[in-house]
Amino acid sequence: MISVDAHRETVTGLLGNAPVIRLPLASAAGLVLAEDVLAGVSLPPFDNSAMDGYAVRAEDVAEAPVTLPVADDIPAGRVDIGRLEPGTAHRIMTGAPLPPGADAVVMVEHTDAGVTDVRIFRTAVPGAHIRRLGEDVVEGTVALSAGTVLGPAHLGLAAAVGLAEVPVRRPLKVLVVSTGTELVDAPNPLRHGQIYESNSIMLASAIRALGCEAEVVRSVVDDVDEFRAAIEPRLADVDLLVTSGGVSAGAYEVVKDALTGQGVEFRKVAMQPGGPQGCGRWNGVPVVTLPGNPVSVLVSFEAFLRPALLAAMGHSGVDRQKVRARLTESMTSPAGRRQFRRGFYTHSEGEVTGVVGPRGGPGSHLLASFTQANCLIVLPEDVDSAAKGDEVDVLLL
Ligand code: AMP
Ligand code: MG
């Protein structure tokens, strides 16, 4: 048996780094910036008004209330801006360029809102309600650094400094394949001995949630020639093949039978669930083979694929948040294996640790209990039992 950490490292190494491409901002949400990007303009790009009101010279309103002639009108977007002469006011809107000669803005609420003459009721300090050129971002400086995960604020800033595209790590294309002669696609009726196929949607949605692309082949029967014929031609278009099922110790293990000796190695990982794993390259394309039980599939995704895909896409934080929590009931774990159990974690107000209880038994077919879980409880290899009240590691999902 090999360790969970060793297998995770192998899978991560297999994927390497996704290539860098330039994508329009609208396609870059959730992806990782691959290079620093510089601001093409300062923000704000010019001194402008922070308020709807009147641009003035502070000294002209020092004796307020005063009345000044309104010599010009400056809506946002106006580009031909004249000079403010002493003893006059320009009506100005939020975001409009400050006229040269003005050093303050009086908000409209402190005036009578006049159009030809304006009565100004309050004094203004120099600089009042003026947004200065470059006070947010200075042209030519780094606006966003390499490694940033692009969220709404980052994309907004990229747009604001004039970028149409950003260099990002390309979303990896993953081919997800479910194997098993017993598998049926809904809404076809089930015959006794058949089950509905459920792994591919779990894997595809988990993969897509990381910003990768997933293509799915559902229900390849347990026949080596059919498996090869269905999958081999599709490898050229993808960065990774992920299979489920057909890798255990029984007979009819289609994935194992088809890929042994083709560059894929099958091994037992010291974990529960999800022991039988495989990885390698088939026709040069990275392959990760997962066992078939649905809970094993999701746990394997968490343990191996999620960190590997995130790392390949340029993320530096690839681990789930880990917290300590006190068990609400006792648990056992097979000696020598790392056990991942579905659990429900509750943070205890005002305390360092929360509490956690398992959801469902260790059986890797018990998928329903996963829907009630918000974490995985991790019992390490050297632990075979934990009592109620013991502190354990919890990975928050
Ligand atoms: P295997 O690893 O192929 O021996 O499958 C282990 C168990 O998982 C069997 O009970 C399978 O019927 C079940 N299983 C395998 N693949 C799927 C799938 N795609 N959807 C639902 N159950 C599956
Ligand atoms: Mg099978």
37 DSSP β-pair partners: 144
Closest CA to 206 of 216, 196, 197: 216
Q: From the CA of 292, which ligand is nearest?
A: 1
Q: What was the pLDDT predicted at 349? A: 83
- Looking at the CA of 194, which ligand is closest? 1
Q: Within this chain, do residues 165 and 181 fall inside the same structural domain, yes or no? A: no
Q: What is the DSSP string of 33-80?
A: B-S-EE-SS-BSSS-EESSSEEEE-GGGGTT-SEEEEEEEEE-TT---
Q: For the chain, how many structural domains are there in total?
A: 4
For ligand 1, mutation pick of 185, 199, 252, 253 (most atoms within 8 Å of CB): 199
The model's pLDDT over 208-251, given as tens digits with 9 standing for 90+, comes to 999 999 999 998 999 999 999 999 999 999 999 999 999 998 89
Asked if residue 331 and residue 227 are part of one domain, the reply reads: no
Asked if residue 60 belongs to a domain, the reply is yes
> Are residues 159 and 190 located together in one domain of the fold?
no
Q: Letter for the amino acid at 252?
A: Y
> 136 in a domain, yes or no?
no
CATH code, domain with 157: 3.90.105.10
Average pLDDT of span 341-347: 97
Are residues 217 and 263 located together in one domain of the fold? yes
Answer whether 295 contacts ligand 1 (Cβ < 6 A).
Answer: no
203 — phi, psi (to 5°)?
-65, -45
Tell me: the pLDDT tens digits for 368-394?
A: 999 999 999 999 999 999 999 999 999
Domain boundary among 279, 312, 345: 312
Band (348; pLDDT cuts 50, 70, 90): confident
- Domain of residue 382, CATH code: 2.40.340.10
Q: For the domain that residue 116 is a member of, what is the CATH number?
A: 2.170.190.11
Report which of 342, 347, 350 is spatially closest to residue 323, judged by C-alpha positions: 347
- If one residue of 179, 183, 247 were mutated to test the ligand 1 pocket, choosing by the most ligand atoms within 8 A of its CB, it would be 183
Q: What share of the chain is helix, strand, coil (3-state, %, to 5)?
A: 20, 35, 45
The β-bridge relationship of strands 375-379 and 285-290 is unpaired
Q: Is the pLDDT of residue 352 over 80?
A: no
Nearest CA to ligand 1 atom 7: 293
Q: Is 273 touching ligand 1 by the criterion CB < 6 Å?
A: no
SS3 213: strand
SS3 for 201? helix
Same domain, 287 and 270: yes
What's the CA-to-centroid distance between 15 and ligand 2, angstroms? 25
Whether residues 206 and 292 share a domain: the answer is yes
Same domain, 357 and 346: yes
3-state secondary structure 239-302: CEEEEECCCCCCCCCHHHHHHECCCEEEEEECEECCCEEEEEEECCEEEEEECCCHHHHHHHHH
Cα separation values, 118 from 49, 99, 188, 310, Å = 18, 17, 77, 60
Asked if residue 232 and residue 177 are part of one domain, the reply reads: yes
Q: What is the mean pLDDT of the chain?
A: 97
199 C-beta closer than 6 A to ligand 1: yes
Residues 190-213, mean pLDDT to the nearest whole number: 98
CB atoms within 5 A of ion ligand 2 belong to 180, 245-246, 292
Rounded distance from Cα 181 to ligand 2 centre (Å): 7
CA of 365 to the centre of ligand 1 (A): 8
Please state, in angstroms and rounded to a whole number, the distance separating the CA atoms of residues 355 and 211: 32
182 plus 115 within the same structural domain:
no
CB-ligand 1 contact for 181 (6 Å cutoff): no
Query: How many of the other CB atoms lie within 10 Å of CB of 324?
Result: 12
Integer CA distances (angstroms), 113 to 86, 90, 116, in order: 20, 11, 10
Query: Is residue 284 one of the residues assigned to a domain?
Result: yes
Q: Which of 102, 131, 160 is the last residue of a domain?
A: 131
Share of the chain above pLDDT 90, in %: 97
Q: Is the pTM of this model over 0.75?
A: yes
Q: Identify any residues that bridge with 396 across adjacent strands, giving them in sequence order.
A: 375
- Indicate the burial class of 59 (C-beta count within 10 angstroms; 0-12, 13-18, 19 or more): middle
| Any domain includes 327 | yes
Tell me, yes or no, whether 277 lies in a domain: yes
What are the tens digits of pLDDT across the range 156-168?
A: 999 999 999 999 9
Q: Where are the alpha helices (DSSP H) in 56-198?
A: 152-160
Are the beta carbons of 124 and 130 closer than 8 angstroms? no
Residues 36 and 74 in one domain: no
Range of the domain at 163: 23-43+145-169
For residue 244, the ligand 1 atom closest to its alpha carbon is 16
The residue count for the chain: 397
